[in-house]
Amino acid sequence: MSANCLSLHRVAYDTAAAAFRAEAQYVNAAGIQRRPVEWHGPFTAEFARIAGGLRDAALSGATPG
């Protein structure tokens, strides 16, 4: 997946999982795809760090759980 066609939606902190969760949306040959991603980082992290962690999780193909 390419970073230039990735967007993050519904970013929120899940206190039970102690993780930031989002829906990653991207475009590939099959069309618009969506999947959940999560990043385990400190609740007090700056927005750029949270967004970067979620972006890296989306690009790595890791699924939450």
Residue-wise pLDDT for 26-43, tens only, equals 888 888 999 999 999 999
Would residue 45 count as lying in a domain?
Answer: yes
Low-confidence ranges of the chain (pLDDT < 70): 1-4, 62-65
What does the pLDDT read at residue 65? 58
Residue 44 and residue 2: Cα distance in Å, rounded?
28
Residue 12 and residue 6: Cα distance in Å, rounded?
17
What does the pLDDT read at residue 30? 85
Task: Locate 23 and state its tokens.
Answer: 């829906």
Would residue 37 count as lying in a domain?
Answer: yes
Per the structure, the complete domain to which residue 24 belongs is given by 3-60
Return the half-sphere exposure (C-beta side, CA atoms, 13 A cut-off) of residue 45. 18
Instruction: Please count the structural domains in the chain.
Output: 1
Would residue 44 count as lying in a domain?
Answer: yes
Residue 49 and residue 56: Cα distance in Å, rounded?
10
